[in-house]
Copies of this chain bind each other. A is one copy, B any other.
């Protein structure tokens, strides 16, 4: 007995997928993913229509979804992040039903509490046995953690594992157990390794980025949180990585023994683990090959589910124990609200991911952003879209100084004592506008093309269609 079936199409037929149902995907193969397109093509060929796609993130590689939307195969999208190609199509009004944006914590919460049930989950698995015990740590398409896929597999009515590396039973190194898997399909390739993980993630060489990174570390030190037991998350952007690098140097120099690094994990976090800055890494997604190698070989580098990472529906999640997170922004406003969903024209080109989950959980939620990008101010009077509410953001680090959220008076005093250059966010906005001008408001229509659903389940903003200029 095993669960192997001959093709993706056969698995779809066996799943009983019908018009109007929901299929789900996870994004660990990132812009190298072949699985979503392969499955959606087979679904389209089978003539199934009116589907909801619940994907933890959507990248530019998923542009064929545009055709499936046009053809009525897909009529609703739930996701935590959407790259610019699909985003532009949605912003132009390409889809009737609004996209539902959630966060990496809100998505598993709503899957587990039954508010967004999944009929069929498709798991892109770099290695699996014939009963569906599968992992992201092995195989030529290895992506490391499969954290976002774990709640999908556990809660879907029918779960299909798609792999290009079939291993003998039992695959002990499993992210998802056979108990959650109905069928296994072996295909030639689940993804393009070059798009799955970058060989190395690189820190910025830009002097503005480096200067902000150094300031970020000064803020962390000044906050009083950088002591034994310290925990930390940062993104994979150039300035954030530079901050991790500088932070490592400070921790080693000062002999600070942190507890854990969290998040999407890069090689820089692996270096911090190996050099003793942290006792462990809690990993929901690997960003580069060094992280994949580490999660495969180092027991201190631990795979966690999306639920364990960030779900507000869990009895606790790791974000609840986080000290400091460094986050980016496409816009930040005078109330410290953050936009990571749309560009300055109002077009969708991102999403919260774990942004608002970590901001809500961390003791210190820090935004690093330059005052302007491509001659467009980042600091503005009102963000085009509220991705993360300002009430959960503590501090903005720019190349022109650091603005502390007025709610954090104690932090402001600490940073002042530490000699950090503090500025009011209104001043930063004026500086930005002096150099880049007052940005034109995006030309928006009256149709809601996406709802932004905060991690507590409330709709905190709507994204409107963008008019052609």
Contact = CB atoms under 8 A, between A and B. Distances in A.
Number of copies: 2
A91 to B, nearest CB: 35
A305 to B, nearest CB: 8
A173 interface: yes
B179 A132 contact: no
Interface in A163-217: 168-170, 172-174, 177-182
Nearest to A301: B172
Interface in A301-327: 302, 304-305, 307-308, 311, 314-318, 320-321
Interface string A101-135: 00000000000000000000000000000011000
A178 B300 contact: no
A270 to B, nearest CB: 15
Interface string A272-300: 00000001101000000000000000011
A121 B181 CA distance: 27
B3 A181 contact: no
A454 interface: no
B179 A308 contact: yes
Given A320-B1, A321-B131, A314 B172 contact: no
A181 B132 contact: no
Given A178-B308, A308-B177, A172 B300 contact: yes
Given A131-B321, A132-B316, A299-B173, A279 B168 contact: yes
Given A178-B308, A178-B316, A179-B308, A169 B1 contact: no
A408 to B, nearest CB: 18
A299 B172 contact: yes
A266 to B, nearest CB: 19
The 8 A-B pairs of least Cβ separation, nearest first, read: A179-B314, A172-B302, A172-B280, A178-B316, A177-B308, A179-B308, A179-B307, A131-B316
Given A172-B282, A299-B299, 20 more contacts: A131-B320, A131-B321, A132-B315, A132-B316, A168-B229, A168-B279, A169-B259, A169-B260, A170-B260, A170-B282, A172-B279, A177-B305, A177-B308, A178-B315, A178-B317, A179-B307, A179-B311, A179-B314, A179-B316, A180-B315
Interface of A: 1, 3, 131-132, 159, 168-170, 172-174, 177-182, 229, 259-260, 279-280, 282, 299-300, 302, 304-305, 307-308, 311, 314-318, 320-321
